[in-house]
Structure 1
């Protein structure tokens, strides 16, 4: 399964989806998200887990795909 990082920016009311935490910070600044990259990397996001800041909700999940026969 493919890991997906979902970032919801609270004040901008926008949702973004990324394949890694590093990709998040290529698009969104630390000021916009309200957490530093190193802090988020060490937060220990797990499947279904989330981290909430004053500016964003960051969740990790897996992309589910159809099984082809």
Structure 2
């Protein structure tokens, strides 16, 4: 059985959905939540890699511009 979001399940039951429908909807929603969580972690990694590249390029440019010719 997949992860069920408790608050969503309770709200759906209170709104009149059957137990089967509430369970299925909660499971589908929790799957989407995990999907977006993985995207968020990938974006964080990309931001870190971009920041490293910018700092590295700036340091290289600084070294090239300040060295004697």
Higher relative contact order (CA 8 A, sep 6+): 1
More helix by share: 2
- Normalised by the length of structure 2, the TM-score is 0.28
More strand by share: 1
- Normalised by the length of structure 1, the TM-score is 0.28
